[in-house]
């Protein structure tokens, strides 16, 4: 199965750390307003999803969302969530940690894209 969002081992380790502190969490891919295009980590329920937000999948058993208009730009790519040294985006729970989440991506092959576009 082709996944629209995946996580590296470093990201999965940070996700487990965040869940141990905050309990259930969620991700929302920032559209670049204040903190660039960063994956924002929130306590579940602290960020209210709207009718135009779409579920891309789960990483580390944590749901990952994005606004539909932004997805139109990223729909040809797989999001790869990683964790790197340093402070995170201001509004994200990882902003005070020693590591923070970042989004990398790769373009789907034609075959992968044909499969993934049927999932939405």
Q: Which domains does the chain have, with CATH numbers?
A: 5-113 (2.60.300)
Say what the pTM is.
0.91
One digit per residue, pLDDT tens: the chain, 120 residues? Answer: 889 999 999 999 999 999 999 999 999 997 765 545 789 999 999 999 999 999 999 999 999 999 998 999 889 999 999 999 988 777 889 888 889 999 999 999 999 999 988 776
In this prediction, residue 107 carries a pLDDT of 96
- Give the other-Cβ count within 10 Å of 34's Cβ: 11
Assess contact for 27 and 99: CB atoms under 8 A.
no
Q: What is the pLDDT of residue 32?
A: 62
Q: What is the pLDDT of residue 30?
A: 79
Report residue 56 as tokens. 């891309």
Cα four-point dihedral sign 69, 70, 76, 80 = negative
Q: What end-to-end distance do the CA atoms of the chain give, in Å?
A: 14
Question: What phi, psi does 79 have (nearest 5°)?
Answer: -80, 130
Q: Which residues of 84-99 are buried (b: 16+ CB within 10 A; e: fewer)?
A: eeeebbebbbbeebeb
DSSP alpha helices (H): ranges in the chain? 9-22, 68-74, 110-116
Distance CA 25, CA 66 (A): 15
Say what the pLDDT of residue 33 is: 56
Residue 86 region, left (φ>0) first, then alpha (ψ -120 to 50), else beta? left
């Amino acid at each position: 199965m082709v996944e629209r969002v995946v996580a590296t081992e470093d990201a999965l380790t940070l996700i487990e750390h965040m869940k141990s502190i905050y309990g259930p969490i969620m991700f929302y891919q920032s559209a670049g307003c204040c903190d660039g295009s960063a994956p924002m980590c929130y306590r579940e329920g602290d960020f209210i999803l709207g009718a135009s937000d779409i579920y891309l999948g789960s990483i580390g058993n944590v749901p990952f969302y994005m606004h539909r208009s932004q997805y139109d730009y990223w729909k040809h790519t797989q999001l790869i969530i990683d964790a790197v040294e340093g402070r995170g985006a201001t509004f994200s729970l990882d902003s005070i940690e020693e590591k923070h989440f970042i989004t990398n991506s790769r373009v789907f092959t034609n075959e992968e894209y044909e499969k993934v576009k049927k999932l939405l």
